[in-house]
Structure 1
Amino acid sequence: MTASITADDNDRDDRPPPPRLAFDRNTWKEIAYLLGNLPVALIGFVYATSAIFTGVGLSVTVIGLPLLALALAGARLLGRAERARARVLLGIRIDEPSPLHRPHRGDGHLTWLWASLKDPVAWRSVLYSFIRLPWGVLTFAVTTVSLFVLWPVLPFIARGLTNADRAMARGLLSPSDELERRIAELESDRGVVIDTAAADLRRIERDLHDGAQARLVALAMGLGLAKEKLLEDPDTAALMVDEAHGEVKLALQELRDLARGIHPAVLTDRGLDAALSSIAARCTAPVKVTVDLAGRPAEAIEGIAYFTVSELLQNVSKHAQAKSVTVDVWRADDRLLIQVKDDGRGGARLDGGTGMAGLAERLGAVDGLFLLDSPEGGPTTVTAELPWRERSSR
């Protein structure tokens, strides 16, 4: 219901208001906007000509391009102020453009500089400042004269002039919807991928340090002691070697588990069907796995699908108290679809601390979708979509 109301409001915003004869509150706001056009246009024009042209003129020097980037950042702020003025006095709602890309660690200042110099939002704000000066002079003059000479028809004049202002603001100060939204999403997704990779590396390092590495250190110490007792007490040395043999087996198992957590061999060798059946066998509830794929997707997509199902089945084992689970994987056009359904107690949420939010972020980072339906009392259905990318022919 809320989404429908918002959409209707936006539709109404896109239509210029009809002219009115009465001097109501909206008319006085429009008159105030028109009278403010000249001083605001003067400020914007002076800033654009001085700051931008100075930066362009000095671009052959070391300080020129950084100065131009700062000038464009200031132009962004002017655009934000104009959107706020139009929102308050003209009643139009213009979405704020996505924030300028902030470089990640290691990108350096050149990344920020290049992003600032090619920022379309800032350049459109500069263009807006240039063309507003003659328009500001015209609207100020016409409104001032109409206040004293054409009073009866001033509401019509104000509405006509501000409708032109509305169109101008929407055309130059609105975000270039799809492209800028997509750029913002890709920047956000890049951060998610970097953070996820860093977390995985920390997990692997922790598992190695606390598991196999500690066990191998103890194994080396045990073998050293056995070597010392080999001549003087062969029986004790034999027992110590036997214990070391058991430690070796445990260390190998931990390393296998760690390798499986990075990328399981069964997934590489036999694909999703066999790999998902393998992790299904470890779930506390019976799991029925159905994989309907004519071919195999790209290695990265296949790996994400595997670990998504793996984490969902772990959640079932830990939280769901389910008696049965179904896992279905199939392809629909250019999407790989995964659905995991259990008959447990339900009540799962993206913010419930079960890792659902992390899964949603990981899928979003590769242009995927994550849908959760889990009413109290169950059942819980998770549907995930991933882009289908063909497997390389290596």
Structure 2
Amino acid sequence: MSELFRGYGRRFLTGIVRGLVQIVLAYAVNLPLFILAVLSIAFIPLGAGVVLTPVMFQAIRTVANQQRVWAAEWSGVKIPIPYRPEPAGTGPFGRLRWILTDPASWRDLLWTLLNVPIALVLGVLASGLAVYGLEGVFVAPWVAQITDYGWGPFWTLDDYGIFGIVGTVVLGAAMTAAAVPLGPMFLKAHALFGQSLLAPTRGALAERVRQLTETRSETVDASAAELRRIERDLHDGAQARLVALSMNIGLAEEMMKHDPETAQKLLAEAREASGTALTELRDLVRGIHPPVLAERGLDGAVRALALTLPLPVDVRIDMPGRAEAPAESAAYFAVAEMLANVVKHSAAQRAWIQIEHTGDRLLMIIGDDGTGGADPADGSGMRGIERRLAAFDGTMAVTSPPGGPTVVTMELPCALSSPKISPSSETG
């Protein structure tokens, strides 16, 4: 029984606190943010709004994301995040365009305004019902005894005496009891209101489906091309050498009795061919999934890759754990392709790699001091990396003016696991 009362008390107090939180959020945060956002838009022609508008809308998104968390935790209403990914490497005007062309930004702004009256009404109903009920049980009878004033227009001590006090207590207790089931209902109504504006629209969902369909098609095509490459490499390389090896061993067996010297030469050629075939198989395996990546993770694999390049490479990696194998492999081959481009096309004297994990995204920056002029549209390598990253909702941005430097920024959504103890260091 005591546990039942404790659970009832927790739900009762939780409803009061959450209703008050929504009211405070609406008037202390939403209303000022709406005013500042509108002013920042008005200041765009003056120049200040170019910087202020993205800042204000990002603040609104932070508040909206918190509302999404509360809606899920308090009411079980899930509100997906609809924002378009921020393009990397853009300046102030690029960020302004990204914010203002995203329909979700304007829906957030509308929610910020409408949430002020709606949060007040539903917050008062969620918390005020309980507070008013408590006032009827504990405060009103005491006030009535002192001031001859009853509870509202219903009873007064002069009219009904003790019956008025009892009625006040009974009605207050009823309202207090009703606050436990009704409070969450009002909070859920507020969450559903938020969902109507903060969730992705049908148009956004349709666009997302189109993007996923296109990405899946490109990924399937890339996988088929990769499989054909592996088959071709096996057929033209290791398989041909193994066939020649088998023939040499067969000839050596036949000539062992009649011409031991020639047989010995054939066996030496067979040994050399077996070593070459083994090397080709190892190279092929590295092209599929390098053993060093499986053993040491992205950190160790990238550092090992940098050491094989014919130019100095500064490596800075800050990863407190390991990503899942598919994302880790995609990140490794993206870095490897960018470094291969540096060696082949940039005429650079030095390159650098920066990899870090922030939030739920892996950020990879590869740069060089070469001649610049890199364009993803001109090369199949960069397009392939774009397709590989797009399969994971990743992005790639290239900044490469004529004369250099070239900076490639890649982002890959992924979570880390298996924390490791490894100091972040530099190699060159």
TM-score, with length taken from structure 2: 0.50
Report the alpha carbon displacement of residue 286 of structure 1 after superposing the two structures with TM.
1.4
**3-state SS of paired residue (2:371):** coil
Q: RMSD value over aligned CA atoms?
A: 1.9
Greater helix content: 2
Query: Contact 1:267–1:274 at 8 Å: present in 2 too?
Result: yes
1:162-190 CA distance string (max 9 Å, x none): xxxxxxxxxxxxx8321111111111111
CA deviations over 1:54-100 (Å, ceiling 9, x no partner)? xxxxxxxxxxxxxxxxxxxxxxxxxxxxxxxxxxxxxxxxxxxxxxx
Amino acid at match of 2:215: D
Tell me what 2:368 maps to.
342
Q: Which residue of 2 aligns with 1:328?
A: 354
Counterpart of 2:357, as a letter, is R
| Matching of residues 91-106 of structure 1 within 5 Å | none
The answer for unaligned runs of 5 or more in structure 1 is: 5-174
AA in 2 matched with 1:187: T
Q: Map residues 65-104 of structure 1 onto 2, 5 A cutoff.
A: none
Question: Match of 2:208?
Answer: 182
SS at match of 1:301: helix
Tell me how many residue pairs correspond in the alignment: 221
SS in 1 for 2:373: coil
Structure 1 counterpart of 2:415, from 358, 380, 389: 389
Distance in 1 (alpha carbons) for counterparts of 2:323 and 2:221: 25
2:310 is the counterpart of 1:284: yes
1:114-140 deviation digits (Å, cap 9, x = unpaired): xxxxxxxxxxxxxxxxxxxxxxxxxxx
Task: Tell me if the contact between 1:315 and 1:354 (Cα under 8 Å) persists in the aligned partners.
Answer: no
Q: Per-residue deviation at 1:354?
A: 5.0
Matching of residue 305 in structure 1 with residue 331 in structure 2 = yes
- 1:261-303 CA-partner distances (Å, limit 9, x unpaired): 1001111011112111222122232112221100011111110
Are 1:195 and 2:221 counterparts? yes
CA shift, 1:239, in A, is 1.2
Q: Kindly indicate whether residue 237 of structure 2 is the aligned counterpart of residue 211 of structure 1.
A: yes
State the secondary structure of the residue aligned to 1:213.
helix
Task: Describe the SS at the equivalent of 1:351.
Answer: helix
Does residue 265 of structure 2 align to residue 239 of structure 1? yes
Partner of 2:120: none
What is the CA–CA distance in structure 2 between the aligned matches of 1:278 and 1:219, rounded to whole Å?
A: 32
CA contact (8 A) 1:370 1:384 kept: yes
Please say if residues 322 and 418 of structure 2, whose CA atoms lie closer than 8 Å, have aligned partners that are also in contact.
no
User: SS at 1:272's partner residue?
Assistant: helix
Which whole-Å CA distance do the structure 2 matches of 1:365 and 1:210 have between them? 30
Question: For the residues of structure 1 that align with 2:218 and 2:275, how far apart are their CA atoms?
Answer: 37
Corresponding residue for 2:22? none
Q: 1:298, 1:392 within 8 Å by CA — same for their partners in 2?
A: no
Query: How far apart, CA to CA, are the structure 2 residues paired with 1:227 and 1:182?
Result: 65
Question: Does 2:385 align with 1:359?
Answer: yes
Shift, 1:391, TM fit: 4.3
Counterpart amino acid of residue 299 in structure 1: A
Give the % identical residues. 48
> Which structure's CA Rg is the greater one?
2
Where does structure 2 lack aligned partners over 5 or more consecutive residues?
1-40, 42-200, 420-428
Is the Cα contact below 8 Å between 1:327 and 1:338 reproduced in 2?
Answer: yes
**Alpha-carbon offset, residue 205 of structure 1:** 0.4
One-letter amino acid matched to 2:345: H
Hey, what does 1:372 align to over in structure 2?
Answer: 398
* Structure 1 stretches of 4+ moved >3 Å: 390-393
- Give the alignment's TM-score, normalised by structure 1: 0.54
Aligned to 2:294: 268
